[in-house]
Structure 1
């Protein structure tokens, strides 16, 4: 193993533990690992989309749990598991501010120090430095604004960042060496159970899904390569042990899937429980809670103790709503510490049932971030246009709605103009977008909700909360249908003759993959099994949920061609949207949000509508179909037929019974 990179990063030459007096006897100690993941720039108790106070997430609240957990334990370590730089308007604003500073006043050669001097410390690192993080790793969304911006931001951290499976470029060639610290060794003071003091050498190693090369191809192609996470772990962890690591913590920005290990798999957290010498696992990416109800009965899981294949592990959700806690029991024999036992839990900042926070926000942290907060408020309140009616996503998974319609109208108009004068001029232009905010794993507040009146930047971010760029694809009718079949996997299979309650939406299918394609008309038959699963794998080749796919009143032919406007994420991440990866005919540098913003500015006043180009086929029979949405949807439901409110569930969602045979908007009087 070439260790030149390790030496350059100061990872070699660590001194041995000095407390030799303990080498001839057994010592016991406790080590608490505190973890956050997928914070997504949710630092303050503020909803920038709704421009209002919020007290159910944010690091100012997580800080209270961190303080409490530290007081309970004699030895603790605070870690972050990635996805910290993107996910709220504050993240977008900071990236835009840095880009403007680089363009106007700071040369690229001047580097991150000059950018930081011009723009100030990124609020994420203001917060994390203040809270005293010991280490962090990278998530996939760290790369959304480009590699250069990421490297500038990481220079602002007062703690080490580790990633082992990203390979850098040297002199135009891939070096074979990790671009970042492949691992970090920390000499951690320990207070032992008998009152004596010791030191434990903790090894931290981080991983990111290889799929970032698809998701952010435009930012990363030719600059890095990404190795398989598990293969990389099996290579580097022995090096960590050779260099004295006694306790190894894997920081895995990947979720749990009950699938056999395969090369370059995205959600590999389960299999880290079987990697030799891993003592604890912090994972994330999927925004779930482990241990928690979702994992009950899953392969390799002890949901009571919080272990994966017997290894203590934690996944603390999203946006600082929970703090992950792993408690390890350590014992020292023959001069080395090892893990004797361990368990984990997720601690919430908010009591959903009682409707109140469980901790007070950290006032000093809020004060540190106040200037950043005011800058973001000024940014999000910038005027764009007006809307004559409300725009929301409460029922966007039941029927065509205005939130997706507006995005697709903007994308189609932009793409038509871009196709003028090309060989694709004259082809039908369609547009694909998904309802991004539909509750689910993000909770009952995660819905687009824009009132009638002025439209500002905050509303654009509420409609489209990813920094994707607009891309367009050249597809035939057969390929278009397969894309829609994949999207239709969002729905569970409904048995029209069952008297049992049947949830309509599959909770494991993210709504950002439920693409609505405007410009064609189609019907979805949810009584048939899904043709594809959430990952796009063909599971029922005999099934066809998409029926009556038409363009301008005629059935779409398999060989009929279209241009489909979409986003960079979809263009690079899905074989179903971009077969063979070779169908891109437009790769704009304009963000989809900027396209939407300009469309609204040009239009001036928006009259929200949905053209109803897709619908769910009536099921017949009398199945009890249920749908979960925002509590704010209760009054809006009065404008629909076929919806019956049944109350607020324990998670805070409004529960509706849906009659698909009757479902349609009521006609205005």
Structure 2
């Protein structure tokens, strides 16, 4: 009994002196993401001058409101490419303008919705730094980007990150403070793509290396949760720190200490696409165990992250996390696009005045075209929508080079089809009837606010440029009689340059000489055949001036021989403005294609299959070799081009 009493006293004393463990606290945090809105403020397509229920921040705002009601704690972040993308963006930047005290319509809407932070995208720089600086003043939330520096390479040009002091309700309803760091990252190629605006003004650094350096810094400042708002694509598992990669999302999931990665830029979706990528879990919305999302473009989807948080004496930690995306429309059984949500009324009311200004702007005529302009077959034959751009660029170059040492060099023009279906859907084509042409049509023909630039290349360089461009196509087997898919959808159509002023054929029975990143993968392969200038085989040593845009001239698309070093003229005018001026001066132009390129004969009858819009059928007569094959996917129609 005495022994038991001593033991009892010992145990009682132990209980009295042992500290009581802190109770574990759990909470849920919902992170909401938009990306690549590209001034798609309302559900409206300014190029077709019609309502479009597949786009619009006004639609996403409804999804945001719904998602917020489902979660006690939420945060809303935009991932960049806000200020450029359609005539609304151009109108604000180039026509109406912004002055101190003005609020850009995109920020007006986002302020109403209640964003917590935003990162900068590459297209934020299309109108120059002064415009961007003025626009940012109208945002009632911080915009961040950590890998953009002053020319000293050490001073951040923009706020690199923000640590948001917030409170979260735990599962019992009690509030707790939490510090959430949002680190912004931007594609480092902006200094190439917008060289005219940025050269000598900023420098950029690698996305992944920057994240690796910044994460410990925000951790040391007390951040409980670290989010990377990275305007970059997901890319591949081959990207490493220091690569200066354009698409580095996968690599960012490997950065120690981060809890969620927001991506965009590629105009794709995750979860959805990238499901076969190493480490990807489409069901959970993670890559390498880290929640990551890419919610489409133009307001097509809302990204939704759900994080489980635990708080102990050591602070907050993330015990699990998932991501998903919510669309604003769906395809019904007849492949028609059906809206899933309505517009948010307060957003519509706030921006309707500027929307009406843009409608007046885009509807103003400035000239006439003598034939219809369409891009339904732009990937399989010489095309009027590309032809008229090339004609305008040559016209502009002839004037700009007069009196210079280059005025006697032959001028070629490189232009690509911008609206050719693809990710934009079955209505994403240029279709301008003959007759008066308006501003909306010019914007339709040339989507981007690129500026005119000119480079010099030899005939051999022209050949390599076209070889890279021919990467648009898959390799065809001439021994197969069944229709064969022609178009490689992983190759962006804006990289399918047609060079006007020379004639050539494309042999799609040959493998690609270059891969999509400009790497020489088949040194013995030659798809470009019978390349000629003025009816004679091109002289590989002859010098040419090629008029193009700032993106391509500065290395955009990674074309061989184009790295910004052979630029001879950086014009202040946009390619689109050159097109408008060309038509205005001519008063009436004929945009019919001159048929300077075609596919090489295959020796045996083959059918090259491709998809286009349903309205393409009206133009089949333009080429007797074109036929309709049947229905395609997601509202597209399948067509065929017969070769022999």
Aligned residue number for residue 372 of structure 2:
390
Residues 37 and 82, structure 1, Cα contact 8 Å, conserved in 2: yes
What do the CA deviations read for 1:613-636 (whole angstroms, capped 9, x no partner)? 011123344556421112221322
Match of 2:579 among 569, 580, 596: 596
> Could you say which residue in structure 1 is the equivalent of 2:131?
149
Structure 2 residues not aligned, in runs of 5+ = 1-19
Q: Aligned residue for 2:10? A: none
Q: Residues of 1 paired with 2:153 and 2:379: CA distance?
A: 46
Q: Decide which of 43, 46, 49 is 1:48's aligned counterpart.
A: 46
- Aligned positions, number: 619
Deviates more, 1:386-395 or 1:463-472: 386-395
Partner of 1:188: 166
C-alpha distance in structure 1 between counterparts of 2:33 and 2:614, whole Å: 31
Q: CA deviation at 1:388?
A: 2.8
2:257 is the alignment partner of 1:277: yes
Check conservation: 1:400, 1:610, Cα contact below 8 A.
Answer: yes
Contact 2:552–2:562, Cα closer than 8 Å, also in 1: no
C-alpha contact (below 8 Å) 1:30/1:330 kept by paired residues = yes
Distance between the aligned counterparts of 1:270 and 1:500, measured in 2? 38
CA contact (8 A) 2:506 2:598 kept: yes
Q: What does residue 235 of structure 2 align with?
A: 257
Task: Give the match for residue 61 of structure 1.
Answer: 59
Among 626, 630, 646, the residue aligned to 2:609: 626
Match of 1:268 among 235, 248, 254: 248
Contact conserved, 1:631 with 1:648, CA < 8 A, in 2? Answer: no
Whole-Å separation in 2 of the counterparts to 1:392 and 1:610: 11
Please, what TM-score do these two structures have when normalized by structure 1? 0.90
Contact 1:23 1:336 in 2 (8 A): no
Kept in 1: contact 2:233–2:247 (CA 8 A):
yes
- The whole-number CA distance in structure 2 between the counterparts of 1:652 and 1:580 is 39
Q: Out of 309, 327, 338, which is 1:356 matched to? A: 338
Alignment equivalent of 1:317, drawn from 278, 296, 300: 296
Q: Which of 1 and 2 has greater Rg?
A: 2
Question: Alpha-carbon deviation of 1:498?
Answer: 4.0
Q: What secondary structure does 2:132 align onto?
A: helix
For 2:472, which of 474, 490, 495 is the aligned residue? Answer: 490
Name the structure 2 match of 1:614.
Answer: 597
2:508 is aligned with 1:526: yes
Matched position secondary structure for 2:154:
strand
Instruction: Could you tell me which runs of 5 or more consecutive residues in structure 1 were left unpaired when the two chains were aligned.
Output: 1-21, 102-114, 662-669
Equivalence for 1:209: 187
Q: Is the 8 A contact 1:571 1:577 kept in 2?
A: no
Partner of 2:634: 651
Equivalent position of 2:267 in the other structure: 287
Residue 485 of structure 2 corresponds to which residue in structure 1? 503
- What do the CA deviations read for 1:506-562 (whole angstroms, capped 9, x no partner)? 111111111100000000011111111122111111111101000111000110111
Name the residue aligned to 2:545: 563
User: Partner of 2:5 in structure 1?
Assistant: none
Summarize deviations over 1:564-592 as a string: whole Å, max 9, x none: 11111111125646545332222211111
Equivalent in 78, 83, 86 of residue 85 of structure 1: 83
Tell whether the 8 Å contact from 1:499 to 1:624 is kept in structure 2 after alignment: yes
CA distance in 2, matches of 1:228, 1:593: 32
| Matched position secondary structure for 1:541 | coil
CA distance in 2, matches of 1:619, 1:186: 62
C-alpha distance in 2 between matches for 1:396 and 1:147: 35
**Could you report, residue by residue, the CA deviation over 1:222-260 in whole angstroms, capped at 9, with x for unpaired residues?**
111111111111111101111111111111111122223
Q: Distance in 2 between matches of 1:417 and 1:168?
A: 36
User: Using the alignment, how far apart are the partners of 1:160 and 1:486 within structure 2?
Assistant: 40
Question: What are the Cα deviations for residues 600-619 of structure 1, in whole angstroms up to 9, with x where unaligned?
Answer: 01111222311100111233
- Counterpart contact for 1:23–1:335, Cα < 8 Å: no
SS at 1:74 equivalent: coil
CA distance in structure 2 between the partners assigned to 1:71 and 1:498 by the alignment: 56
Contact (CA 8 Å) 2:605, 2:643: kept in 1 or not? no
Q: Does 1:400 align with 2:378?
A: no
Mapped to 2, the partners of 1:340 and 1:479 lie a distance apart of: 55
Relative distance call for 1:558 and 1:68 in structure 2 (3 A) is same
Q: Is the 8 A contact 2:483 2:640 kept in 1?
A: no
Kept after mapping to 2: 8 A contact 1:519/1:551? yes
Distance in 1 between residues matched to 2:155 and 2:482, nearest whole Å? 56
Q: 2:13 maps to which residue?
A: none
Q: Work out whether residues 180 and 226 of structure 2, in 8 Å CA contact, stay in contact via their aligned partners in 1.
A: yes
SS across alignment from 1:523: strand
The range that moved more, 184-193 or 148-157, is: 184-193
SS in 2 for 1:547: strand
Q: How does 1:122-201 map to 2 (within 5 A)?
A: 122-169=104-151, 174=152, 176-201=154-179
Contact 1:249/1:281 (8 A) holds in 2: yes
CA RMSD of aligned residues (A): 1.8
Distance 1:577 1:458, change over 3 A: farther
* Contact kept? 1:189, 1:199, Cα under 8 Å: yes
* TM-score, normalised via structure 2 length: 0.93
1:10 corresponding residue in structure 2: none
Deviates more, 1:88-97 or 1:581-590: 581-590
In 1: Cα distance, 2:507 partner to 2:536 partner = 19
Q: Is the 8 A contact 1:479 1:576 kept in 2?
A: no
CA distance in 2, matches of 1:492, 1:244: 52
Greater shift in the superposed pair: 194-203 or 391-400:
194-203
| Kept in 2: contact 1:23–1:333 (CA 8 A) | no
Question: Counterparts of 1:624 and 1:329 in 2: how far apart (Å)?
Answer: 54
User: 1: distance between equivalents of 2:178 and 2:199?
Assistant: 40
Structure 2 CA distance, aligned partners of 1:39 and 1:139? Answer: 10
Matches within 5 A, 1:28-39: 28-39=26-37
Alignment correspondent of 2:280: 301
